[in-house]
Amino acid sequence: MHIKFRHAKSLEGLACQYCALNINHEVKAKTLLNNIMPSISLRGQQVPLSPFRKLVRLADAAKAMGKEVYHLNIGQPDILTPPAAIAAFQKKDIQILEYSDAIGIASYRKKLTQYYQSFDIDVTANDILITTGGSEGLQFLMYACFNRGDEVIIPEPFYANYNGFAQIADVVIKPITCAIETGFALPSIEDFERKITPNTKAILITNPNNPTGCFYDKEILMQLGALAKQYDLYLIADEVYREFCYDSQDFYSVLNLKGLEEHVVVVDSISKRFSACGARVGAVVTRNEQLKTSVEKYARLRLSPPGLGQMLAEEMIDGMYDYLMQTKAEYNRRRMTVFNRLQRMEDVVSYLPGGAFYCFAKFPIEDADHFCEWLLTDFDYNGATLMLSPGAGFYATPGLGKDEVRMAYILNTSKLEKAMDCLEQALKVYPHKVQLPMEARFA
């Protein structure tokens, strides 16, 4: 029957066919018309939508009404992309925009070894596979490291897109919960070990962390490395915020863990480092030959990472030292601005983040989704408001993060001060404030 009705062009036509069969029933025809439309795959339906999309519409509406909206919700830096690199790139005589090699332009990969050397990371150009942003690197790893149903242990809260990448590859995220009261310090190694099952294939950490700004030092990484080795797991480290470690903390890459050459893999990107999110240039870095071969197969399927982006990225490596020092100093000023202001706000729980350009805060509210919407729809302070990311979207465990938000300090200090003025005022007048229990106030 379905085949017979496939060619009905309209509801009317379909109803007529029914007539011919003496089933003159328009409602049934409507149902059939719906059924014969091609349907989105189950996988396509289940891809998680960004939990923050509704807020974007509300922010647009707030702006259309004339409100100034301070965006602390996204990791899009306002820092200039290195101007010298852009100038050098503009002088290039480009005649044909060719595919680059699928694993990246050879001269760029070679130059990147100098960049890694500056962190005492000893890798060859062969260990570096260029990807379309860190995002594609993460996707390739989901396919290359895991079978369907395999598990990856990730400290939560975590970068929300890990959910989507895991889901499309049928990888199961096993979250291990970190708490704001400890500044989101990693749980003990024993806690990690308890999460390991026969299906566990990897531990994935983000260092420094988005969304918490947490920094993991050499000692913790050595412990995680030993665990990965003991249980023969991949240790995947997303190090896209490598440059931004504060308080004289030295960044230590998992690539420097000794004896873990087969286990360790790093996801990298120029998006945040060089404020070049639109260049779409990232990398997977590993010494594991089998993994390289598998990632390369995926890379060859999509032919080429962005050629122009790689040319620009190559220019950025010369002269990067001063640029990165200045950028880090600027983020550090912003970090202190946000931290100092949050510390002074009544009933707000926060901490000094050690890296990246994010922090979490717990507010005296029950539902951060509602609070973030209300900020855009019902609140302004001197014609301005702010946009934050509700915390729950960064947790895999249902119910967590409902009274938390993430802030990205991607605005200059003067705008941040104004955004913090708005927040302070908003927390005073929000109609659904709750009383924090005594112990939480002094966390």
Ligand X SMILES: Cc1ncc(COP(=O)(O)O)c(C=O)c1O
CA dist 222 and 72 (Å) reads 33
- Say which residues have a Cβ less than 8 Å from residue 55's Cβ, sequence separation at least 6: 73, 372, 373, 376, 387, 389, 390
CB of 150 to ligand X, least distance (A): 20
Tokens matching residue 132? 């379309």
Structure tokens at 167: 């889901």
Q: Least Å distance between CB 375 and ligand X?
A: 22
CA-CA distance, 308 to 324, in Å (whole number)? Answer: 22
What's the rounded Cα separation, in Å, for the pair 202 and 84?
40
Q: How far is the CB of 336 from ligand X (least distance, A)?
A: 21
Footprint of ligand X on this chain (CB under 6 A)?
75, 133-135, 159, 206, 210, 238, 240, 269, 271, 277, 282
Least gap, CB of 214 to ligand X (angstroms): 12
Q: What are phi and psi of 365, to 5 degrees?
A: -140, 165
Q: By C-alpha distance, which of 286, 285, 280, 360 is closest to 313? A: 280
The helix or strand, by DSSP H or E, that contains position 328, with its residue range, turns out to be helix 320-344
Minimum distance, C-beta of residue 357 to ligand X, in the bound complex (Å): 10
> Residue 72 or 436: which CB sits closer to ligand X?
72
- Give the nearer residue to ligand X in terms of CB position, either 272 or 287: 272
Host H or E run for residue 387: strand 384-387
| Residue 138 half-sphere exposure toward CB, CA atoms < 13 A | 24
Q: By C-beta, is 269 or 288 nearer to ligand X?
A: 269
- Report, in Å, the least distance between residue 52 CB and ligand X: 13
Q: What is the C-alpha to C-alpha distance for residues 386 and 405, in angstroms, rounded to an integer?
A: 12
Nearest to 343 by CA among 353, 356, 331: 353
Specify the DSSP class assigned to residue 287.
Answer: -
Q: Which is nearer to ligand X, 316 or 349 (CB)?
A: 316
Complex with ligand X: residue 268 or 315, whichever CB lies closer: 268
Centre a 10 Å sphere on the Cβ of residue 187 and count the other Cβ atoms it contains.
Answer: 15
Q: Break the chain down into helix, strand, coil percent, rounded to 5.
A: 45, 15, 40
- Of the pair 5, 119, the CB lying nearest ligand X is at 119
Distance CA 122, CA 339 (A): 36
Residue 63 CB, shortest distance to ligand X, in Å, is 23
Query: CB-wise, 32 or 279, nearer to ligand X?
Result: 279
Least distance in Å: CB of 327 to ligand X? 16
As measured in angstroms, the least distance from the Cβ of 30 to ligand X is 43
Residue nearest to ligand X (CB): 133
**Shorter beta-carbon distance to ligand X: residue 16 or 277:** 277
Burial of 106 (0-12, 13-18, 19+ CB in 10 A): exposed
Q: Which is nearer to ligand X, 240 or 392 (CB)?
A: 240
Task: Pinpoint the alpha helices (H) of 238-360.
Answer: 289-301, 307-317, 320-344
